[in-house]
Amino acid sequence: MNIGIEATTITGAKGGFGDKSGVYRYFFNLVKSLSQVISKKDKLFLYDIYQFALKNMSADLLPILRQDNIYGSLIKAPRSFKLEYTQIDDMPVIRWFAKKIDKYVIEPMSDRLVYGQFIRKINTDLEQNKIKVFHVSETVYFATPGIKQVATVCDIIPIKFPDFQKEETVKIHMRRLRFIREKSDAIIAISANTKNDLVKELHFNPKKVFVTPLAADEAFKPVSRTEVLRTFQKVNEEIEISKNTRIDYKKYLLFFGTLEPRKNLGVLLEAFRDLKKSGQYQGKLVLVGGRGWGKIQQRLRAFVKENLLQKEVICLGFVSDGILNDLINGAQAVVYPSIYEGFGLPPLEAMQAGTPVITTNVSSMPEVVGKAALLFNPADLEALKAYILNINIKPNLARELSQKGIKQAKKFSWKKTAEQTLEIYQRLARQRKTYAYWY
């Protein structure tokens, strides 16, 4: 069987914010594991829809593409027509009018025509490569006549929390989800919670929605104190220059993830401030992650300054997986106060590394961490403070959570995710496809 996967989230990864988010980790690890579980007769085609590979192919992907039955396919998009591409743009008198005509008349018409040509070009390539099943991410969606289509939905955050999003963002996601609901032959949800949201809130057919849980990347694992201290030396050299502070082994709390409103960092900062002021906690708070949307960073800086926590709260921004793993291992606990997740990889990654986890009891978090973490209501400041203190003064509790976490993380594997996904492909390949072009 020939399988096509829209791999834009992988081919476009540069290593900064957003590139190695949960969606990237999902598709990269899925592709990597699929390459190991498909038979030698199967072929896997990775489609770069937006041509990122021409500029910057992810180094992570190259070893996979070297396999005999793995192929990369680059689709070159046609160029839209604009007056600015002609000699008219060199005429100062009418240049202004040309720009207005481009914006309000030519661009809308040209873009629609070009998009239609582009989709037909992709479908032609799929047919030429004899693709039986095409798997798309939640950022790219179009019809594939005669070819079974699988779509992955990680979450419905813009729909559940429209106040956190721009109005246009909510509309785009709603259109995308309607298309997936009506046109996809199978939908993959990354957690039972996401499936429940799709079925109950958006009326997806439960028989078409399959749950394939994620797993922590193999980069996250227990490491020795010596390795952690070696990383600390590098990190401390950087932060001491700018902040005149430092982090020490097992003397800090760690949050890692994109800095955005639903991560609920406010309750973590307030808990940390209260414990510092009361003298009950002497460690630092380390925040790792790229800047998301909203004014979280501005509010974070203002809160830290207002409460005189400049030497206590350390923001490291984006770091590599290797450094992140060492930071996880060196933390007293990982605190993840999110109010909603499609799956929730950070708590699972922390547990796989053997670090105690404090997280919330909402959305998918309970099904991910099981009984191996301390769970609290995301609005319960006092509960969070109590859990931080418990881990701080009860070393036996920390050891117990570490052991339980490692055991819980072993329940998830990318090999299992790939096998479940392949089973969906095989099931669809045995069915017939009938609908016509729609775009």
Reported as a single tens digit per residue, the pLDDT across 285-334 is 999 987 766 678 888 899 999 999 999 999 988 888 899 999 999 999 99
Mean pLDDT, to the nearest integer, of 234-262?
Answer: 83
Domain match, 205 and 187 both: yes
Task: Collapse the DSSP code of 356 into the 3-class scheme (helix H, G, I; strand E, B; otherwise coil) and give the result.
Answer: coil
CA 192/CA 212 separation, integer angstroms: 9
Pair type for strands 313-317 and 252-256: unpaired
Domain match, 198 and 249 both: no
Contact 132, 5 (CB under 8 A): no
Q: Residue 18's pLDDT band (boundaries 50, 70, 90)?
A: very low
Residue-level pLDDT at 272: 98
CA 224/CA 141 separation, integer angstroms: 45
What DSSP character marks residue 48?
Answer: E
Long-range contacts, stretch 195-201, CB < 8 angstroms, 24+ apart: 197/155, 197/156, 197/160, 198/153, 198/156, 201/156, 201/159, 201/160
Mean pLDDT, to the nearest integer, of 217-228?
Answer: 94
DSSP 65-112: HTSTTEEEEEPPPPPPP-GGGSGGGG-HHHHHHHHHHIIIIIHHHHHH
| Residue 201 in tokens | 């809130």
Residue-level pLDDT at 438: 37
pLDDT > 60? residue 385:
yes
pLDDT > 50? residue 17:
no
pLDDT > 60? residue 15:
no
Domain match, 229 and 251 both: yes
Domain match, 150 and 288 both: no
Mean pLDDT, to the nearest integer, of 264-274?
Answer: 96
CA 361/CA 172 separation, integer angstroms: 29
Residue-level pLDDT at 2: 96
Domain match, 335 and 424 both: no
Domain match, 187 and 259 both: no
Q: Which residue has the higher pLDDT, 51 or 324?
A: 324
Residue-level pLDDT at 165: 78
Nearest to 135 by CA among 357, 420, 329, 351: 420
> Considering the chain, what is the average pLDDT of its residues?
86
For residue 182, give every residue at least 6 positions away whose Cβ sits within 8 Å of its Cβ, in sequence order, or none.
none
Nearest to 424 by CA among 28, 132, 32, 72: 132
pLDDT > 50? residue 16:
no
| Residue 265 in tokens | 């960092």
List the beta strands (DSSP E) in 290-422: 313-317, 333-336, 357-360, 374-376
Domain match, 246 and 232 both: yes
Q: Residue 234's pLDDT band (boundaries 50, 70, 90)?
A: confident
Domain match, 197 and 53 both: yes
pLDDT > 50? residue 54:
no
CA 203/CA 53 separation, integer angstroms: 37
Mean pLDDT, to the nearest integer, of 115-128?
Answer: 84
Q: Which residue has the higher pLDDT, 102 or 426?
A: 426
Domain match, 239 and 329 both: yes
Contact 134, 147 (CB under 8 A): yes
Q: Is residue 97 part of a domain?
A: no
Q: Which residue has the higher pLDDT, 98 or 390?
A: 390
| Residue 320 in tokens | 């590599």
Contact 216, 25 (CB under 8 A): no
For residue 277, give every residue at least 6 positions away whose Cβ sits within 8 Å of its Cβ, in sequence order, or none.
none
Domain count, the chain: 2
Q: Which residue has the higher pLDDT, 267 or 72?
A: 267
Domain match, 274 and 400 both: yes
Nearest to 253 by CA among 281, 233, 227: 281
Residue-level pLDDT at 337: 98
Residue-level pLDDT at 439: 32
Q: pLDDT tens, 60-119?
A: 778 888 888 998 887 766 655 544 555 555 555 555 555 666 565 556 555 566 667 778
pLDDT > 60? residue 215:
yes
Mean pLDDT, to the nearest integer, of 132-139?
Answer: 88
Mean pLDDT, to the nearest integer, of 176-187?
Answer: 94
List the beta strands (DSSP E) in 234-349: 252-256, 284-288, 313-317, 333-336
Domain match, 177 and 234 both: no
Q: What is the CATH number of the domain that holds 151?
A: 3.40.50.2000
For residue 259, give every residue at least 6 positions away whose Cβ sits within 8 Å of its Cβ, in sequence order, or none.
265, 287, 289, 290, 291, 292, 296, 297, 300
- Residue 365 has φ and ψ, to the nearest 5°, of -55, -45
Give the domain range for residue 384.
225-412
Q: Which residue do the tokens 């109950």 mark? A: 200
What DSSP character marks residue 215?
Answer: -
| Residue 267 in tokens | 């309750």
H or E element at residue 436: none
Residue-level pLDDT at 436: 40
Domain match, 407 and 420 both: no
Residue-level pLDDT at 20: 62
CA 374/CA 366 separation, integer angstroms: 10
Q: Residue 249's pLDDT band (boundaries 50, 70, 90)?
A: very high
Q: Around Cβ 373, how many Cβ atoms within 10 Å?
A: 28
Q: pLDDT tens, 30-44?
A: 999 999 999 999 999
Q: Is residue 93 part of a domain?
A: no
Q: Which residue has the higher pLDDT, 57 or 3?
A: 3
Portion of the chain with pLDDT greater than 70, in percent = 83
